[in-house]
Amino acid sequence: MDLLSNILDLLRLKGTFYFRTSFNRPWGVAVPAFENVSRFHFVHRGRCWVTVAGVDSPVLLEQGDLVIITHGAAHSLRDQPDTPLKTVDQVVAEAGFTGEGALVIGDQGTGHETQLICGHFAFDSDATHPLIEKLPPYLHIKNFGEASTLWLEATLKLIGAEAGRSNLGGDLIALKLTEIIFTQAIRAFLASDGQRQLVFKGIADTHIGRSLTEIHRNPAHSWTLESMARVAGLSRTAFANRFQDLMGMTPIQYLTNWRMQIARRSLVESENSIYEVAEQSGYQSEAAFGRVFKRHFDLAPATYRRVRRAEDRVA
């Protein structure tokens, strides 16, 4: 599995499809902040403006554009930058939206319709990675379908065709297809602006990327700074400095954080003993593993397993 796929797989990326819209002028919707998610809006038809909390200027979204509000910040969508806003609850109530079909604002057939496909991406509880943390407040990918591959353009059209309609299995198809969008958006960011930002620069770098790939391929290996540098094809000092400059952390910090993510998931999803989880995570001592794990999650491994499983049952 490649590096990006490995990261997103461990974090358990899940797409949640909301609805498609038929917004007719004038319209404006205020979307509240939400933790631990990345919201997305794809402009299937028409155009609109998005304003993200903490970002000075609104962004124009044209037909075919995708915007991902990466950290769940409050934001607004409207036909013009100065159109008054209504809350999502107000819009849903006034439209009498039941979750079926499109969410409609205004009179259809005016020639000023904006169709959006809206949803969010979520990760497991406590799942984190520097790649996600270092994303900017939003990703705006112009003409997303065409800028990607032909199959993705077809996927977006299929989501638009299936979303909220009465076709048997249509909502499930749309939901599963949205999970593809986040991965492709990250790929597009890595190939463009991401190459100038911390973490993304490291993943794209030949030497650091090679070491990261091997760490992810075999996280339980008894890695040292020397062995990681050898894989990268650099001297110990050059590797340490380059890793710090491009990733914003030391190699050992990255390794430890990744191992803790592996341990977190194993504790919740498997019946492995704490010692077995420690071994899978690169620790030969259960006591040492427990100390590191508690520093990361504020809970001992056994307690963490019990608490998270109880939360999952409630959910």
User: 98-112 pLDDT, tens per residue?
Assistant: 877 789 998 877 778
DSSP 8-state secondary structure symbol assigned to residue 83: S
Domain boundary among 195, 226, 250: 195
Same domain for 244 and 176, yes or no, is: no
pLDDT confidence bin for 8, thresholds 50/70/90: confident
Same domain for 125 and 268, yes or no, is: no
Cα separation, 64 vs 59, in Å, equals 14
For residue 206, what are the CA distances in angstroms to 110, 239, 243, 252, 269?
Answer: 53, 12, 11, 19, 34
Write down the pLDDT at residue 150.
55
Same domain for 222 and 92, yes or no, is: no
Q: Residue 257: pLDDT above 80? A: yes
Q: Residue 29: pLDDT above 90? A: yes
Q: For residue 151, give the amino acid letter.
A: W
In a domain, 280, yes or no: yes
SS3 287: helix
pTM value > 0.75: yes
Over residues 272-309, the pLDDT tens digits come to: 999 999 999 999 999 999 999 999 999 999 999 999 99
Q: Measured between alpha carbons, how far apart are the two ends of the chain, in Å?
A: 30
Write down the pLDDT at residue 275.
97
Alpha helices in 163-273, H assignment, sequence order:
170-190, 200-204, 206-217, 225-232, 236-247, 251-269
Please, are residues 83 and 51 in contact by the beta-carbon 8 Å criterion? no
Its domain, for residue 98, covers 3-195
Domain boundary among 195, 216, 232: 195
Q: Residue 56: pLDDT above 70? A: yes
Same domain for 94 and 7, yes or no, is: yes
Same domain for 129 and 65, yes or no, is: yes
Determine what percent of the chain is predicted with pLDDT higher than 90.
61
Cα separation, 296 vs 311, in Å, equals 19
In a domain, 200, yes or no: no
* CB atoms closer than 10 angstroms to residue 55: 15
Please, are residues 122 and 40 in contact by the beta-carbon 8 Å criterion? no
pLDDT confidence bin for 145, thresholds 50/70/90: low
Same domain for 42 and 190, yes or no, is: yes
For residue 315, what are the CA distances in angstroms to 125, 295, 311?
Answer: 12, 26, 6
Residue 76, beta-bridge partner list: 30, 51
Write down the pLDDT at residue 154.
63
Write down the pLDDT at residue 14.
79
Name the burial class of residue 174, with classes exposed (0-12), middle (13-18) and buried (19+) by CB atoms within 10 angstroms of its CB: buried
Number of domains in the chain: 2
Q: CB-based contacts of 8: which residues, under 8 Å, 6+ apart?
A: 182, 183, 186
Please, are residues 204 and 190 in contact by the beta-carbon 8 Å criterion? yes
Instruction: Report how many helices (DSSP H) and strands (DSSP E) the chain contains, helices first.
Output: 14, 11
Same domain for 38 and 74, yes or no, is: yes
Write down the pLDDT at residue 99.
75
Write down the pLDDT at residue 251.
98
Same domain for 173 and 211, yes or no, is: no
Cα separation, 164 vs 18, in Å, equals 9
Pairing of strands 102-105, 14-24: parallel
Cα separation, 153 vs 166, in Å, equals 23
Q: Residue 163: pLDDT above 70? A: no
